[in-house]
Chains A and B, each alone.
Chain A
Amino acid sequence: MSAAVEGEVRVFAEYERDFTEEADVVVVGSGPCGAVVAHELTARGKRVVLLEEGPPFTPQDFELDGALSMTRMMREAGLRTTRGTIIPTMQTIALGGGSLVNSAICVRPPDFVFEGWEEYAELEGTRRSDLDPHYDAVEAFLGIALTPDELQGQRNLLFRDGCDALGIESEPIARNVRGCRGSGECFTGCRARAKQSMDISYVPAAIKAGARVLTSVQVQEVLSDGRRATGVRGQVVEPFSGRRSHRFRIDAKAVVLAAGCMATPVLLQKSGNLANGSGQVGRNLQFHPGIAVLGIFPEKVDPGFGATQGYQSLAFLREGYKLETLWAPAAILAVRFPGFGHDLKKRLAQVPYAANWDAIATCHRSLGTVRARRGASLDPILTWNFDPEDAQVLGGALYQIARIFFAAGAKTILPGVHGVPDEMHSLEEADVLRTRRYAASDFVTASNHAFCTTRMHGDPAKGVVDPRGRAHEMDGLFLVDTGIFPRCTSVNPMLTGMALAHRSAQAVADEL
């Protein structure tokens, strides 16, 4: 029985028995990278099957409560953490992947990031100028544009004002939105349907061009015949419960893995340690650890209104961090307030006056691994260690955020770091953020930007894929998620992942 016909999407309620499919290309994962490849190949006339383990979410499926939303849309209920240094990290399980619940930030990294890639990983053809045509194509398709002032809200504009007062370069963030209303609901699903997440942009376009899209299907093994990838197999899974049922197999001339930086290496490991002669599959895990500081202003900020993340500063990228504004649900803002009882309840009245800004750090020294578990689970075992020098970089970022807050007129900041006062009322008080020697455990940090676990490298002995995502050791196997980055991007990675995927689509088409 064929499970899908061209130009259709299948959902859990439609699977009745085991099935097999044939295609030119099977793409595993419908996040930003997989969706781009599926669309580009379908547009070139290839027969494409796009597989996604999660279901499609419609506005009536969105849950506004952040915690309950995570239990529905994230693997391991959004509570996945690393061993070693504990850092929470999330992975979405939904059609459209992380694009459904990210804040739509689209940034091209500066030249020096790519120059670093070329030097570090002995690459050719990965300069910014090589990738610009692919960035252009993705930006045009998604309507990526700078966030206008009228959608920023005070939370974002105060950041701009603080940067301006200090002479720090800042800029509105470019986002993949059309018709944004500043509702600040990017993280739980855009009810205004303004965010151009993959489920309402690239995936429908691929379907219209003839792609077959199967949702609620879990790929458990990549099939191969000698050096050639020949397809995938797995099982249908029920949304939310993850209960497995019917089996399926997709035979294809090419297999494209876009399951994400954590799932792709697990899949390769579970498939007989495929494409891992270099021993690099699952190694070199990098994050952009992030920290947030809360600032309290004398005037109302209305932190719920405005683009989820509308302003950023790239001025400190060479020093190892990026500064940006951040929306957070009221509960997360309130968690930062110290104290208990009546004192705490009085402080909660300050929530409407609060703004939340954050930093993400480039941490090349802090590395980890992704390993498959024994048994049937596809959840990874993650290990990561936060290097003390990288922790110091994050401390420097904290101080810069404090400077910007006070320059913007904040009366109090709450840095949320162990070992320093809960509240600071002046830049002089905040000076300890600059001078303190930090331990990794001083920070409450998190990261949803993850990289490098199947890295590209010019030398097949040191990497898993070439610059076009083609596996060094296998024919017909391509990897196209952020796992192939040789090092982190220092800025939000979605757009770069999509640009690389856009380029890889041509390489896949050439090989067929």
Chain B
Amino acid sequence: MVTQNRVPAPRPLSCPNCGGRIELRGFAHTRTAVCIQCCTVLDTSTPELRILQRFDEAMRVRPLIPLGTRGTLQGKKWEVIGFQVRAIRVDGVPYSWHEYLLFNPYAGFRYLTHYDGHWNFVSTVRALPAFTSFRGRKAAVLEGRTYRHFQTATATTTFVMGEFPWAVRVGETVTAEDYIAPPWILSSESDGKEINWSRGIYLTGAEIWKAFSLPGSPPQAQGVYANQPNPYADGMRRAWRTFAVLALLWVAALAAHWALSSNRELFRGSYHFAANTPGEHSLVTNVFTVPGDGNVEVQIRTDLDNNWAYFHLALLAEDGSRGFDFGREVSYYHGRDSDGSWSEGRRSAAATLARVPAGRYYLRIEPEMDAQASFGSPAGMSMNYEIIVRHDTPRPWLFLLALPLLLIPAVVRSFKAIGMETARWSESDYGTSVGISGDEE
């Protein structure tokens, strides 16, 4: 029998370059190991530990999660066995991120990526992604989820440490593409010969610190990461749902208000006014009864034509106990010029007295028209008009005022959510904050 029931822990290697001790954790999977002391990359699949590469120790980067640390992610235990730093250049500015190789002898390999306080737990993808487009941009579909293209860049490995089940080298480059569907990110890496796909899920530093029981606190997340979930998106959706409910209630309340307003006509009278008639121009109407507390609307309808009038009005209690003074201007002009026909103003006007106590009232009406024009015109200024008084008319303006107030929370939350999306996409190939397009291909 060749297989052993119990696989012994791998024996540490001795570095052929510096003689240093190299811990191994990946059992027979390991094909490349890096001497932690002298940064020599070794081929562990050869008995003599062929030296693949030596690179500058000055490049040394300390992983935040030390090699050999174990932690639990998605219900499985993982050990950090490898670490590499990779970099891309955007507009000449290098951006580098860290990649931890995680290993479990039963479940295999996973990756943990870290950039500026943002983390992703990454697995290899076995299904083929299908390509499509989303709002005119490149997108990929994997297992029913659409990922929008975010960035294409050339990624270079700048530092390696620990062990890997494949041959790693500092200086290796791949074409890396990222597609996002927060909290998911779908990435491809192509070396020109083959493409490998992986899928990551966004994790916070706090989740990583807890999973690996790390001391201290994780680095603060900077900015918005490509597949960072938008915390305002839920708030925005909730706010719009609330708004929809309130808007329905609003419509119902408005309809009820309309239905419950009696809108009863209390008085109607027709009159003629001529400015040139000498004497007092005021008149009083018959007495009418305002049946209950509530608003009273006075409507004025005229036959004014390219003219104006002003109505001094007073609603007076028959017993003289109270009176409401008010006035309305009515003007209506129309004509035709080079732009076609035009009109301005209306022939009618209305005034509403918000709270009139029940009782017997009459109106005093005193119209006024352009005195200068009246003198200049042979017939003088004149008009016919009608006064209509109604009680308890519907007043929708309060409702109209309420509608924008109801909108405020939804609009505020939408602005926050959109702001975050703008920040996210500004870092992508489609961003506007980047001045010059710096595609390195």
Do A and B come together as binding partners? no
